[in-house]
Amino acid sequence: MNSDEKKEKAAQKAMAFVTPGMTLGLGTGSTAAKFVDLVGAAVADGLDLVCIPTSEATRAQAAALNIPLTTLDETPHLDVTVDGADELDEHLRLVKGGGGALLREKIVATASDKMVVIADDSKYVEMLGQFPLPIEVVQFGLKSSLMMIESLAGRVGCKGDIVQRMKEDGTPFITDNGNFILDCHFGRIEKPEALSGALTQVPGVVENGLFLGIADVALIAGDEGITQLEFGF
CA gap 85, 123 in Å, rounded: 7
Q: Is 85 in the site for ligand 5RP (CB under 6 A)?
A: yes
Question: Which one among 25, 53, 99, 192 touches ligand 5RP, defined by CB under 6 A?
Answer: 99
Is 193 one of the annotated active-site residues of the chain?
no
Nearer to ligand 5RP, 83 or 153 (CB): 83
Residue 209, classified by CB atoms within 10 Å of its CB into exposed (0-12), middle (13-18) or buried (19+), is buried
Q: Is 30 in the site for ligand 5RP (CB under 6 A)?
A: yes
Structural contact between residues 165 and 180, judged by C-beta atoms closer than 8 angstroms = yes
Which residue stretch of 17-25, 27-35, 36-44, 160-168 sits at the interface with ligand 5RP (rule: CB under 6 A)? 27-35
Nearer to ligand 5RP, 8 or 105 (CB): 105
Nearer to ligand 5RP, 108 or 148 (CB): 108
Nearer to ligand 5RP, 34 or 148 (CB): 34
Which three-class secondary structure state does DSSP give residue 48? coil
> Looking at residue 15, what DSSP letter applies?
G
3-state helix, strand, coil in the chain (%, to 5): 30, 25, 40
Shortest distance (Å) from residue 122 CB to ligand 5RP: 9
Kind and range of the H or E element at 199?
helix 192-199
Q: Is 96 in the site for ligand 5RP (CB under 6 A)?
A: yes
Which is catalytic among the residues 8, 87, 105, 136?
Answer: 105
CA gap 37, 44 in Å, rounded: 11
Question: Which one among 11, 49, 52, 86 touches ligand 5RP, defined by CB under 6 A?
Answer: 86
Structural contact between residues 96 and 142, judged by C-beta atoms closer than 8 angstroms = no
Question: Which one among 47, 52, 88, 101 touches ligand 5RP, defined by CB under 6 A?
Answer: 101
Q: Which residue in 77, 121, 129 sits closest to 229, CA to CA?
A: 121
Q: Is 84 in the site for ligand 5RP (CB under 6 A)?
A: yes
Q: Which residues are catalytic?
A: 105
What is the contact surface with ligand 5RP in residues (CB under 6 A)? 27-32, 83-86, 96-102, 105
